[in-house]
Chains A and B, each alone.
Chain A
Amino acid sequence: MNTPLYILIQLAAALLLAPLVNGVIKKVKAFSQKRQGPPLQQMYLDLYKLLQKDTVVSETASWVYHFAPYLNFVTALLAFLFFPVTFFQQTISFGGDIILAVYLLGLGRFFMALGGLDTGSTFGGMGASREMMISALIEPALLVSLLTLGLMSGSTSVESIMSVNLQGSPLSTNPFALLILIALFIILLAETARIPVDDPSTHLELTMVHEAMLLEYSGRHLALMEYAAVIKQLLFITILANFFFPLEPALASPLPALLLGLIVYVLKVLIIAVLVAVTEISTVKLRFFSIPNLAAISFVLSFLGFMQFFIIGR
């Protein structure tokens, strides 16, 4: 009955909070280098500026180039709707919706790669092929982690996972969830193009993967692609925050409980964002052909979590 309200809250959280998380990560990285860094609202200003500029389109581009930013943005936002930010909302849920969310993100990534190839520039092609290799290596780990979380709660829908977590964080009832947590953290770094996998602030062709696909976009197309990337980042941070650290404020009446839940969610997201920034500060970007090592670790940890579930699953 309150579903439209919850969907609005979810959309507002995605659109308003996602650029702030990016700003926080950049600020922490700047502080570690003894710089001031851009202000926290910089990304909002950037997006606003980009939306007003003209787009410059290559002559060899086809409908894929024009379609890709819109599709990327819409699939990222739709996938975010499946993961409620507090425990009181049920926006959209049915059995198997985790798998649908993962493959919606995959659809967005596919069109992003095609859009990069479409302009005929070499950077786009190179970025697209690198992105496809990284995502092919990371996808088994992501699916095995999410399916193990689903097995621990009895169904593959996000709502059932979160309702089981209300009885206690998986880390305390099933300690092998630590394996899944670390695997999901590595996947977060890989999917959001953070330092061990890809440098988000570089423009040298030796090191760019995500930036290479975005290089030919300008104006509102670029705004939509950047927005989609930060919403995807907020999605993965939400998975870590809500599946492993469920803190539900126990208040009686629904409206104050909802507000308190939102505040707790924002705090959790900011703490995890600082953790991501600290990881970025303390490691170096891997050589591209060393990324299979990282992906293998992530896959093996999630597979061992799956196996340990059968030894001692509760």
Chain B
Amino acid sequence: MESFLELLSISLLIAAFGLTATKRIRSYISVFQLQSLLLAAATMAIGIYNLQAEGVMDILFLAVVIFILKGLVIPRLLRNTYTKVEYTVEKDFFINIPSAIMISAALVILTYFTIHSLNGSLSAQTKFYLVNALSVVLIGLFFMISRKKAIGQIVGFLVLENGLFATALFSANGMPVIVDLGILVDLLTAVMIMGMLVFRINETFDSINVDRLKNLRG
């Protein structure tokens, strides 16, 4: 089971890189959906293990909630927003893709050196999980600031939250379940509100290119 979890944590990192490498909004949403499904699979594996070891079902319940919310509901909300908004084909990113990929690799190296210089007693395996999960957080943050379209920024925020959840899950078997459920419900609300805002921005400016918001200046 350990190597299955390690494979899943590597796949989360690969999905984060897949996000940086795509140019189209529909692809970002699909890659985010794939990453959430992988995260749900990892949560389910840890949940089943916990059920056999201690007899508590909370992490298993969390796995089902993540699968439904992040794997099905949120991508559907994002796709609905995307189809209602007018999409013009223009350059979507501030930094071109090969440079963005190199910067994401540099972020992974930065995470590695940070975790390596911690003074606590972490086993090599926990360090491995932490490097992968924290890199997903940083790559999500970088993705959020490097895209011009508002939906790209929403997807970056969601990937960041995926990474935070993965960090808590792999190193400490999840935060207390109430905290996790609260975060997920807040996330759902945030995505709905952001979707409405994107729609409003599109109505006012006829594009969701946040560069154009500079027109608000006098």
Contact = CB atoms under 8 A, between A and B. Distances in A.
21 contacts: A172-B3, A175-B7, A178-B7, A178-B11, A179-B13, A179-B14, A182-B14, A292-B98, A293-B97, A296-B21, A296-B101, A297-B17, A300-B17, A300-B102, A301-B14, A301-B17, A303-B105, A308-B128, A311-B112, A312-B125, A312-B127
Interface residues of A, number: 21
B101 A293 contact: yes
Interface of A: 171-173, 175-176, 178-179, 182, 292-293, 295-297, 300-301, 303-304, 307-308, 311-312
Nearest to B21: A297
Contacts of B102: 296, 300
Contacts of A304: 13, 105, 108
Contact of B14 (A172, A178, A296, A307): A178
B21 A311 contact: no
Contacts of A176: 6, 10
Chain B interface helix/strand/loop/mixed: helix
Nearest to B106: A300
A173 B125 CA distance: 13
B124 interface: yes
Nearest to B108: A304
Chain A interface helix/strand/loop/mixed: helix
B104 interface: yes
Q: How large is the interface on B (under 10, 10 to 19, 20 to 34, 35 or more residues)?
A: 20 to 34
Contacts of B13: 179, 304
Nearest to B127: A311
B175 interface: no
A288 to B, nearest CB: 14
Interface string B1-17: 00100110011011001
A148 B7 CA distance: 17
B136 interface: no
Given A295-B98, A300-B104, 16 more contacts: A172-B3, A173-B3, A175-B3, A176-B10, A178-B14, A179-B10, A179-B14, A292-B98, A293-B98, A293-B101, A297-B17, A300-B102, A307-B112, A311-B112, A311-B127, A312-B124
A83 to B, nearest CB: 26
Given A293-B21, A296-B98, A300-B17, A307 B108 contact: yes
A12 B18 CA distance: 40
B109 interface: yes
B42 interface: no
